[in-house]
Amino acid sequence: MIRRIYQGALVALLFMAGSLAAQAEKEYKPFILAYKTSGSVDAVVSDVKQKLTSGGFEIAGSYSPYPSATIIGVTNDTLKKAASKSEMGGFGVAQRVSVTKVGSEIQVSYTNPTYMAHVYRMDGDLGSVTSQMKSALGANMEYGPEEGLTADDARGYHYKFMMPYFDDALEIAEYGSYDEAVSKVEAGLKSGKNGATKVYRVDVSGKKESLFGVALGNDANGKNDGSDSFVMKEIDFKPVRSTAHLPYDILVSGNKVYALPAEFRIAINFPDLSMMGANSFMNIMGCPTVIANMLAKTSGNENY
């Protein structure tokens, strides 16, 4: 009898260990496809916004980077509070929802809050926000790369050797105060002269930190090789689009202004993008410098 009890306990312990290991190795992907539909894009966008507000989200702003797509930035008190608990947590204070027409179908997708919590090294995994988003819009499947990233891999992610990590954020401007930094960014986005315009602004709760969603168009010289449309035409080619990669971000934290290096910001959403060949990083190799310059000048730093 004692031997049977011992064997049963051992089996139970092994089962628990296996379950914990499986949970620890759970993989996450950048995007969640809510559903596919058809009809009028404008009608779908309106319906999605209604579902989001009814589901407890605040619409921070929206824009259409190109005719086939609309992106909606959303936040809520949970996201604002979670963002305040970690350094640079403001990068995760907003989630992005996309409505994309592909052929005759319309795809409704959104950034995976839990994946984003890990890549932005936030305190917690935003699991409640992920559940809330699923309740509001649905969840057909996670997608992006063929294989996802574990929480540990996402928190330590970089594309390849010598490529930047999350904590290699670019300091693109510095001012005497938070208020001055925010004012400079607001002014630069309003003018649009450097090709960047404002989609939304979300302030982090209880912290001098604000995230700006930024649309990238042609630069001051009329060039578009860092624009949203140029970049996405090269890298967003799979049947289910990753439109919610956009918009780009500017983060004001204290008296400093930051942007994520494009080598990191693009790679976290397209980690399986090849280095060379068709639809590869090689085809947008000039974009990181162009984007950094656009965002720095928009933030008032003409000497970046």
The radius of gyration computed from the CA coordinates of the chain, to the nearest angstrom, equals 21
Tokens read off for 35: 């559903």
* pTM of the predicted structure, to 2 decimals: 0.90
- Using CA atoms, how far apart are residues 105 and 68, in angstroms rounded to an integer? 11
CB half-sphere exposure, 188, CA atoms < 13 A: 28
Return the HEC string of the chain. CHHHHHHHHHHHHHHHHHHHHHHHCCEECCEEEEEEECCCHHHHHHHHHHHHHHCCCEEEEEEEEECCEEEEEEECHHHHHHHCCCCCHHHHCCEEEEEEEECCEEEEEEECHHHHHHHCCCCCCCHHHHHHHHHHHCCCEEECCCCCEEHHHHHCCCCCCCCCCHHHCEEEEECCCHHHHHHHHHHHHHHCCCCEEEEEEEECCCCCEEEEEEEECCCCCCCCCCCHHHHHHHHCCCCCCCHHHCCEEEEEECCEEEECCHHHHCCCCCCCCCCCCCCCHHHHCCHHHHHHHHHHHHCCCCCC
Q: What is the pLDDT of residue 278?
A: 86
Q: How far apart are CA 172 and CA 304, in angstroms?
A: 7
Task: Provide φ and ψ at 148, rounded to 5°.
Answer: -85, -170
- Low-confidence winner among 9-18, 25-34, 238-247, 274-283 (lowest mean pLDDT): 9-18
Task: Report the distance separating Cα 304 and Cα 184, nearest Å.
Answer: 15
pLDDT confidence band for 223 (50 / 70 / 90): low
Distances (CA, A) of 72 to 48, 118, 178: 9, 22, 26
List, in order of start, the domains of the chain with CATH numbers: 27-298 (3.30.310.70)
| 156-160 mean pLDDT | 95
**Does residue 209 contact residue 253 with C-beta atoms inside 8 Å?**
yes
Q: Which pLDDT value is given to residue 162?
A: 87
Q: By C-alpha distance, which of 97, 121, 112 is closest to 148?
A: 112
90-146 per-position pLDDT tens digit: 999 999 999 999 999 999 999 999 999 999 999 999 999 999 999 999 999 999 999
Mean pLDDT of 253-267: 98
Q: Express each pLDDT in 16-57 by its tens digit.
A: 445 445 455 899 999 999 999 999 999 999 999 999 999 999
Task: Compare 275 and 183 and report the one with higher pLDDT.
Answer: 183
Kindly report whether the peptide bond that precedes residue 261 is cis, defined as omega within 30 degrees of 0. Answer: no
What pLDDT score does 9 carry? Answer: 46
Please report, as a single letter, which amino acid is at residue 255. N
Q: How far apart are CA 134 and CA 42, in angstroms?
A: 22
